Structure 1
Amino acid sequence: MVGVWVVLGVLLVGGIAGAALRARNGRIRTAKARERALPEPVAQALDPGAAVTLVQISTTFCAPCRHTKAILSPLAERTEGLRHVELDVTDQPEVAQALGVLRTPTTLAFSPDGTELLRISGVPKGPAVLEALDEHLSASSTGSTR
């Protein structure tokens, strides 16, 4: 009988942990003010001609990273002022560490001057990304297409 209670307890704790992780996946958070320099690969990826550059931090064997790219690349192609760049940090973990990235995929939105606007952990939802970036995209251009 004790074994049944242990199994039920483990299932309950696992279910709660899974629900908490699922709730955090794709959540958009505004960036905290940071005064640190951007790692060189990220600084090079920024597009001075785009109002917002989405830098997706990925690793080679990350299935959600491929799904994130499939969402963000077309979104950037059809939205004026938005650029998407995927940065594979498999062989350069110091980049992820410098940015404070603890999991992949994590997507960071940067202004042309390198200011972090927001970050998304996990697979984002396209409409939610556009909604969160609306003020930055509309400030640079009045005719963005969605």
Structure 2
Amino acid sequence: MTGILVLVGTLLVGALAGTGLSLRNGRIRRPAMASDSTPPPTPVADALVPGAVTLVQLSTTFCAPCRHTRAVLSRIAESTAGVAHVEFDIADRPQLAEDLRVMRTPTTIAFDDKGTELLRIGGVPKLDALRAALAPHVRLTD
């Protein structure tokens, strides 16, 4: 009887953890306060496109969701004036992940051309949600 209770408890904890993680995947978060933002690290600052919102994707080579994220971000950058997309492999630059407080891949951070963080997404972004989040910062087209 004890074995069955342990099994049921383990399955319940696993199901709750999986549900919690899937609800957080692709969720868009905005910085708490604009005054709290610190300038981005030099590699990111150098990659920002003047006059545009730059979507900075942090990924790793072996990350399957990173490929899906790349497709979504590329589609938005190609179809939206004033949006650029750059990608950094944090396996090659672990300090960059630490400086940006990134705990998982893929993570996308949108910066304006001054280096202010506009939003952050952990996981694969949802196309429509990302378009809506970018709308106040750029002119969206299809």
TM-score using structure 1 length:
0.91
The one-letter amino acid paired with 2:127 is: G
Deviates more, 1:11-20 or 1:67-76: 67-76
Distance apart, 1:35 and its partner CA: 4.4
Q: Do structure 1's residue 45 and structure 2's residue 47 form an aligned pair?
A: yes
Q: Which residue matches 2:89?
A: 88
Which residue type is aligned with residue 18 of structure 1?
G
| Equivalent residues in 2 for 1:58-77, closer than 5 Å | 58-77=59-78
Q: Gaps (5+ residues) in structure 2?
A: none
Alignment partner, residue 141 of structure 1: none
State the partner residue of 1:145. Answer: 141
Deviations 1:115-141 (A, max 9, x none): 000000000001100101101114xxx
Taking the TM superposition and a 5 Å limit, the aligned residue runs for 1:1-146 are 1-32=1-32, 33=34, 34-50=36-52, 52-138=53-139, 144-146=140-142
Distance 1:134 1:74 in 2: 15
Gaps of 5+ in 1: 139-143
RMSD: 1.1
TM-fit CA distance, 1:73: 0.4
**Amino acid of the residue matched to residue 83 of structure 2?**
L
Structure 1 segments of 4+ aligned residues over 4 angstroms from their partners: none
Shift in Å, 1:86: 1.0
**Superposed displacement of residue 36, structure 1:** 2.7
Question: 1:36-63, CA deviations, whole angstroms, 9 ceiling, x for partnerless residues?
Answer: 332121111100032x110001111111
Identity %: 59
Contact residue 51 and residue 113 of structure 2 kept, 8 A: yes
- Residues 35, 123 of structure 1: CA spacing in aligned structure 2 closer, same or farther, 3 A cutoff? closer
In 2, distance between residues paired with 1:14 and 1:24? 16
Task: State the number of aligned residues.
Answer: 140
Counterpart AA for 1:39:
P
Task: Compute the TM-score of the two structures, normalised by the length of structure 2.
Answer: 0.94
Paired residue secondary structure (1:23): helix
**One-letter code of the match for 1:28?**
I
Give how far 1:82 is off: 0.9
